Amino acid sequence: MKARIIGLTMAALWAMAVPVQARDQIRIASSSTVYPFAATVAEHFGKTSGFKAPVIESTGSGGGLKLFCASVDQESPDIASASRRITDSEIKACAANGVTDIAEITIGYDGIVVANAKPGSRFELTRRELFLAIAKSVPVEGRLVPNPYRKWDEINPALPHEDIMVFGPAPNHGTRDVLDALVMEAACRSFPEIGRLDPKAEKQACEAMREDGAFIEVSENYTITLRKLLAEPRAVGILPFSYLDQNGDKIKAASLEGQVPSYDNIYTAKYPLSRPLYIYVKKAHLGVTAGIRQYLAEFTSEKAWGKDGYLAEKGLIALPDAERKIEAAKAAALPNLNF
């Protein structure tokens, strides 16, 4: 009897020491940009690992990180992907909800492209011209006024004589944050009229988009933007490079600052709208959800994210060799993101 009690006690201690897998399927809240890559890895993972393929929801970067940071409950997302880096305010929201152990992995590069349907006009743009096309208020004769431009050639006579119609990302997309930083803020601060504003007014002037129909926000997946471009050849759309790469028979890209969005130009950062992509891991779930480490190992394997890996076929721009080694080591060790 005594031996039996000891045996039961040891079994109970063992059960306490070994984490119980509360869920057998990874849940990912994904940026629309990263979604095709995360889903492709999930498909390979499900077929080859013995684990179930992860469930992935395309939420946009902001929406995904909001879900990720909301709770450590076992039903909350294990991983979030983003097309821009997590912000200080999001880190604080995570901490407030008990999500304090987070690992960050950079998975590759992407470019933001301005594209239109193949039959449409060819555009050679600068960031300043793009700002003047889509900003809510623009400088005219020394003062800020509601955007008066209706046609592209009113901004620059060399541009097409066509109505300005731009399908762009809504604020729930990480692409919108990058667009604000790399186009709107960078371009508008080149105007002396903007420099005379106080910081709050300057930010508003730089980031506010037109609401008169010339800039149309798309909150859904980028496949919706693609459909709108094909239905309206006079329109242009703002998309991740991967959508151009996968649909080069249907759409073409504008040049920006004289550079075309290509794999090499994004890889070398010659293209001005290049950006890194990220995934975030909730370390509290490592003992709760089965397969997280194995999924990360698949994602950061050379057969997946390498220069000739299967994600390159989906449009992911690989990190340089040295950076891939660093990020692969992070995917294995999962060090905490320094807050």
At 58-79, the pLDDT tens digits run 999 999 999 999 999 999 999 9
Q: What percent of the chain has pLDDT over 70?
A: 94
Which of 248, 274, 300 is a domain's end point?
274
Pairwise CA distance, residues 127 & 129, whole Å: 5
Q: Are residues 223 and 143 in the same domain?
A: yes
Q: Are residues 324 and 305 in the same domain?
A: yes
> Do the Cβ atoms of 320 and 123 come closer than 8 Å?
no
Q: Are residues 65 and 98 in the same domain?
A: yes
Pairwise CA distance, residues 49 & 291, whole Å: 9
Pairwise CA distance, residues 46 & 107, whole Å: 20
Q: Are residues 119 and 260 in the same domain?
A: yes
Output phi, psi for 212, to 5 deg.
-105, 15
What mean pLDDT is reported for the chain? 91
Pairwise CA distance, residues 36 & 194, whole Å: 38
Give yes or no for residue 17 having a pLDDT over 80. no
Q: Is residue 34 included in any domain, yes or no?
A: yes
Q: Is residue 199 included in any domain, yes or no?
A: yes
Side-chain half-sphere CA neighbours of 335 within 13 A? 9
Collapsed DSSP state (helix, strand, coil) of residue 42: helix
132: closest CA among 145, 146, 151, 147? 147
Q: Are residues 287 and 188 in the same domain?
A: no
Pairwise CA distance, residues 203 & 331, whole Å: 36
Give yes or no for residue 19 having a pLDDT over 50. no
Which of 274, 291, 325 is a domain's end point?
274
Q: Are residues 264 and 134 in the same domain?
A: yes
Chain centroid to CA 64: 10
Output phi, psi for 55, to 5 deg.
-90, 125
Q: Are residues 123 and 229 in the same domain?
A: yes
Two tokens at 62?
Answer: 């902001």
Chain centroid to CA 276: 8
Q: Are residues 217 and 129 in the same domain?
A: yes
Q: Is residue 13 included in any domain, yes or no?
A: no
Q: Are residues 260 and 284 in the same domain?
A: no
Q: Are residues 216 and 252 in the same domain?
A: yes
Pairwise CA distance, residues 12 & 64, whole Å: 38
Q: Are residues 229 and 283 in the same domain?
A: no
186: closest CA among 198, 174, 194, 196? 194
Q: What pLDDT is recorded for position 13?
A: 40
Give yes or no for residue 194 having a pLDDT over 70. yes
Q: Is residue 196 included in any domain, yes or no?
A: yes
What CATH number corresponds to the domain at position 327? 3.40.190.10
Q: Is residue 339 included in any domain, yes or no?
A: no
Q: Is residue 3 included in any domain, yes or no?
A: no
Q: Are residues 102 and 196 in the same domain?
A: no
Beta strands in 152-235, from DSSP E residues, in sequence order: 166-169, 215-218
Buried b (16+ CB within 10 A) or exposed e, 221-231: bbbebbebbbe
pLDDT interval class at 16 (50, 70, 90): very low
Output phi, psi for 319, to 5 deg.
-70, 155
Q: How many domains does the chain have?
A: 2
> Do the Cβ atoms of 314 and 308 come closer than 8 Å?
no
pLDDT interval class at 169 (50, 70, 90): very high
Residues 86, 88, 92, CA angle at the centre, nearest 5°?
Answer: 105
- Higher pLDDT: 11 or 170? It is 170
Radius of gyration (C-alpha) of the chain in whole angstroms: 23
Q: Is residue 171 included in any domain, yes or no?
A: yes
Q: What is the pLDDT of residues 112-128, one digit of tens each?
A: 999 999 999 999 999 99
Domain region containing 210: 111-274
Q: What pLDDT is recorded for position 21?
A: 58
